[in-house]
Structure 1
Amino acid sequence: MGERGSSLLAKLILILSFVVVALGSNTVTNLKAFYLVQQWLGSYCNQAGTKCCYPPSGKPSPDFTIDGLWPYSGDGNFAYNCGNDNYDVGRIKFLQDELRKSWPSFTCPQIGRKFWVHEWNKHGTCTKSILGEIPYLQAALNLKNKANIYQALAKAGITPGNKFYSLDVIKKVLARSIGFNPWVRCNKNAQGHDQIWQVTFCADITGKNLVECPYIPSGVDDCESQIQYPIYYQ
């Protein structure tokens, strides 16, 4: 190989090395916590311009459902897109009924199991040395059972409808019932009113036990002091 060929090869190797570093940059090397994000699909579906479709199994009973399980690293970042796996969706058939109930998607058209595979590929692959595919999904389901947001609010008389509730009261009710402070995010409905959308609790690095969140971002979709808790979805 001539001098020019050697130079081109060296440049190619250098470029590839940067690509490898970039692809691996989101991998969690110092996991600090898992963030279990639950959402009220009523607030997602009543946004202006948003269309929702029920899963093939029909309209689920009203509940806060899983949006995702996010790994948070010691360097202060939420890792994502750490590489696609050759995921065999047939492996999760035994969890399908529970996933449909606790982790549904209202997207149109319906994407079924692809939604859970997407969440694994986007977030779960970043910590697959700690939680494999099945344990990752099971951890999210188990944590949701420990952080029953709908039940906690209902016991305090906070129910879906057109009423406005104090954000501080909602946070205090959830902290008292579940034992840890929540991270509450809001969006706006078609009328422009702030409404409860996502509620997040954290788990330790095993994905088994709820803990206080080491970090709660501020300034993103902050809620007003009074927010709506809309009906689930019609």
Structure 2
Amino acid sequence: MQSESASFFKLLVLLCLTVLCVAQDDFDFFYFVQQWPASYCDTKRSCCYPTTGKPAEDFSIHGLWPNRNDGSWPSNCKKDSSFDESEVSDLIRRMEKDWPSLSCPSSDGVRFWTHEWEKHGTCSLLNQRQYFQTALDLKQKSNLLQVLNDAGISPGDFYSLKSIKDAIEKGVGYTPFVDCNVDQSHNHQLYQVYLCVDSSSLDFIECPVFPHGGGCGSRIEFPSFSSSSHDEF
């Protein structure tokens, strides 16, 4: 009787672990998140340019994040899957350009990419090369800076939140979520743009759910990153 109970208990534990693993990997769509470098830098935490040099005045990738329709998300799904730079060696130049790290101290980006892969990429059902290649291609496909420029929205001025959202929706074809920060002069700034991608990571879709918050007023600043005021960082 004790042997049967022990066997049943082991089976129950194995089943629970299996369900947990499946649930951890399960997701419904991706958030593809891009950030505006001037807004990242224009906060109390400041920023540090990458060791490869100051990034271009363009949106950069923050991450490609698996998410669920109920607002939850999986993370760190494979503890034994570490970032391997050799897997993306032919993508490094594009990653340095389109996915730079602005955190301090200055770095070559590997620490940032490692974090994104281990926390989010391991839950994506993509291998490392597919994960980073997909994000780079989505940035090129969305082309946010050009989309905004085409609508007469350029860095260095204030715009209505509605006009920014409308421009992105018209240019990309889907409704974005816009996240703002507040600078030391208490201006709301365009900080991050979320777009949603289907779980096959091939196409943009309407977001099943938006993140909480956003922190944007009705009129927000699209700060310049080319001005000398940022070169002290």
Which bracket does the TM-score occupy, shorter chain normalised? 0.7 to 0.9
Give the deviation of 1:21 after TM superposition.
Answer: 8.2
1:93 aligns with 2:86: no
Question: How many residues are aligned here?
Answer: 219
Give the deviation of 1:87 after TM superposition.
Answer: 3.0
Aligned partner of 1:225 in structure 2 is 218
1:184 aligns with 2:178: yes
Asked whether the equivalents of residues 39 and 198 of structure 1 are also in contact (C-alpha less than 8 Å), the reply is yes
1:175 counterpart letter in structure 2? E
- CA offsets, 1:89-133, max 9 Å, x none? 2222211000011111011213321211210100011123xx111
1:67 pairs, out of 62, 84, 92, with 62
Percent identity over the alignment is 41
Task: Map 1:106-121 onto structure 2 (within 5 A).
Answer: 106-111=102-107, 112-121=109-118
Cα 1:118/1:22, change in 2 over 3 Å: farther
d(CA) in 1 for partners of 2:178, 2:41: 18
Cα 1:22/1:185, change in 2 over 3 Å: farther
Aligned partner of 1:56 in structure 2 is 51
1:171 aligns with 2:165: yes
2:215 counterpart letter in structure 1? D
Give the deviation of 1:61 after TM superposition.
Answer: 1.3
Instruction: Name the Cα RMSD after superposition.
Output: 2.6
TM-score, normalised with respect to structure 2: 0.84
Aligned partner of 1:79 in structure 2 is 74
Structure 2: runs of 5+ lacking an equivalent: 1-9
Give the deviation of 1:20 after TM superposition.
Answer: 5.7
- CA offsets, 1:2-30, max 9 Å, x none? xxxxxxxxxxx9xx98x96898487132x
Task: Map 1:1-234 onto structure 2 (within 5 A).
Answer: 24=21, 27-29=24-26, 31-48=27-44, 50-84=45-79, 85-111=81-107, 112-128=109-125, 131-161=126-156, 163-218=157-212, 220-232=213-225, 233-234=230-231
Asked whether the equivalents of residues 202 and 212 of structure 1 are also in contact (C-alpha less than 8 Å), the reply is yes
1:119 counterpart letter in structure 2? E
- CA offsets, 1:158-215, max 9 Å, x none? 1111x21100011111111111111001010111111110001111111111111111
Structure 1: runs of 5+ lacking an equivalent: 1-12
1:140 counterpart letter in structure 2? A
